[in-house]
Structure formats: C-alpha cells, structure tokens
Amino acid sequence: MVTNPLIITCPVVGAELSKEDYPDLATTPEEIAESARGAVEAGASIVHLHVRDEEGKPTQRMDVFAEVTEKIRGRCECVIQYSTGGAVGTPLGQRCAPLKLKPDMATLSMGTMNFGPDIFENSETTIRAISKAIQENGVMPELEIFDYGMMDTVDRFLEKGFIPERFHVDFVLGVPGGMSGDIRNLVLLRERLRAGQTWTVGGLGRFQLPLSAHAIAMGGHVRVGIEDNIYYQKGALAQSNAQLVERVARIAEELDRTVASVKEAKEMLGL
C-alpha cells in the first residue's frame, strides 16, 4: 500500500488561455489570489503561478508577481512556485526577473520543443541562465519534462554541473509537440528517475484525469488546474480550480493516499 502523502499542485491560470477559452479565467491579482485560496482549501499544497497584466495578458513583471504573491500569502499558506516559462516568446531576462522575489519553487524547462503551432525555446544557454538565477536566489527548481529526450538532458546537465543536484520533477504530458499522455509514457519516464526522486505528472486536457489516477497509484504526485485543462468532463467546463483539485483528493482517498498538508509537502521536497 502506498503511504506517502499526495502533493497536489494547482496551476491556476497559465499564460496561454483567454476568457474566450474559459470565461471564468482568473486574470486580476485579486482573482488569481482567490482562485489559489480555493485550490489550497480543496487540497492543493503548491500553487503554480503565472500572472497577467492590467489588460489580462501574460506578463513576467516583478511588481505583478509581488502583488499576487502577497495577496495569496494573505489568504492561505502554500508553496508558491513561479513559472519561468512565461508565455511562448517571452525574452530570457523577463523569464528570470521574478526569481529575485525568492519564491519557494520555480520551473526549469529542460528543452526546446514545438508547443502546438509555436516554438517553446529552451536552448542550453537559456536553461543554464535560468538555472543560475534559480540557484542565486535560493529557489527550489522543478524540472519540467515534456519529452523523453529531456531526461537525457537532465543526466548530461547534472554531470556538467549546469543544474543543481536537488530538484523536483514534473512530467508534462499531452502537449502537441511533446509526449502524449499515454500511460505507457508515464511508466517509461518514471523508470528513468533516480531512487528517491520526487515527481509529479501534469496531463493536458483529456489526459489530466487518467494520468492523475495512475500517478496516485504509482506513488507520484499530481498537478491539476485550469492552465492544463478547462473541462471537468467532456463538454462541461470545470467550475473552478478547486473543483479539479477536490476530485483528485477524492480519488486519492479511495486509493489510500492522504493529501499532503503544506508542512508535509515542504518536508518531502526539502524546502
């Protein structure tokens, strides 16, 4: 029986969605903070954070990250994880800038890939620069793996000292241009991890629910939220991030996994 508590990460808004896609999308600092609070109360211990500017467009502005972070901290206790991906095409300097605010965690994508019709650029130069900024600010990195070859990059960069020895891993599956959310892909990726390595899976769209259930049973952790999937079931939009988190918490209970408290999540991640 799996006994380690389940860490749930909630990506509350993302950088690619608009209100045309999802009318209830949180875009203002107040809305994002309130959505984060709901997710945490439903069982999430990590909030994966993108922010939006005054026009609702994705931004990496430090002042907006600072405002949203303060509002979240005022509403709930959680691990705050900044995105360093930004939106597709965000310049490197802007991607790194919010790290100066010293969040608990930050993402580090491990390779360039097609991202739907766009290209998500993560050259060796980019990865090393973001990794350096993460380490200089004392932030815990989460390595984002979109494709199998990125695991080879992790091994190579560890050997060269380009990334820190301690990190969390997030398998992001189902992005057009990366690995699909087929369960066999999750099994294949997990087999590449070092013993004792903590990991999460985030499935996009229709892959979110089956990957979540399998990750819970496999002893991993789960990322669920509106950034990755706007539907609760086919044809029915999710009511909120909290609704998606609540479902995963219920599944975990049925599979004898308790949902991790923020304190437990921090202990497991070494924060």
C-alpha closest to that of 179 among 198, 204, 200: 204
Could you tell me where the DSSP H helices lie in the chain?
29-42, 62-75, 92-96, 124-136, 149-160, 183-190, 208-218, 241-254, 262-269
Helix (H), strand (E) at residue 234: none
Q: What is the pLDDT of residues 32-51, one digit of tens each?
A: 999 999 999 999 999 999 99
> What's the pLDDT score for residue 86?
84
Q: What's the pTM value of the predicted model, to 2 decimals?
A: 0.96
**Is pLDDT at 134 greater than 50 in this prediction?**
yes
Domain boundaries of the chain, sorted by first residue: 8-269
Calpha distance 12→49 (Å, rounded): 7
In sequence order, the 6+-apart residues with CB closer than 8 A to the CB of 101 are 62, 65, 66, 69, 82
Quickly name the fold that domain 8-269 has. Answer: TIM Barrel (3.20.20)
pLDDT category of residue 2 using cuts at 50, 70 and 90: very low
Calpha distance 175→117 (Å, rounded): 11
What percent of the chain has pLDDT above 70? Answer: 99
- Please, are residues 258 and 5 in contact by the beta-carbon 8 Å criterion? yes
Q: What is the mean pLDDT of residues 177-193?
A: 97
Tokens of 171: 């398998």
Q: What is the pLDDT of residues 220-265, one digit of tens each?
A: 999 999 999 999 999 999 999 999 999 999 999 999 999 999 999 9
Q: What is the pLDDT of residues 72-103, one digit of tens each?
A: 999 999 999 999 998 888 999 999 999 999 99
pLDDT category of residue 3 using cuts at 50, 70 and 90: low
- Please, are residues 49 and 81 in contact by the beta-carbon 8 Å criterion? yes
Task: Please give the distance of CA 42 from its chain centroid, rounded to a whole number.
Answer: 17
Calpha distance 212→252 (Å, rounded): 9
- Please, are residues 9 and 46 in contact by the beta-carbon 8 Å criterion? yes
Q: Tell me the average pLDDT of the chain.
A: 96
Length of the chain: 271
Q: What is the mean pLDDT of residues 52-63?
A: 96
> What's the pLDDT score for residue 34?
98
> What's the pLDDT score for residue 1?
36
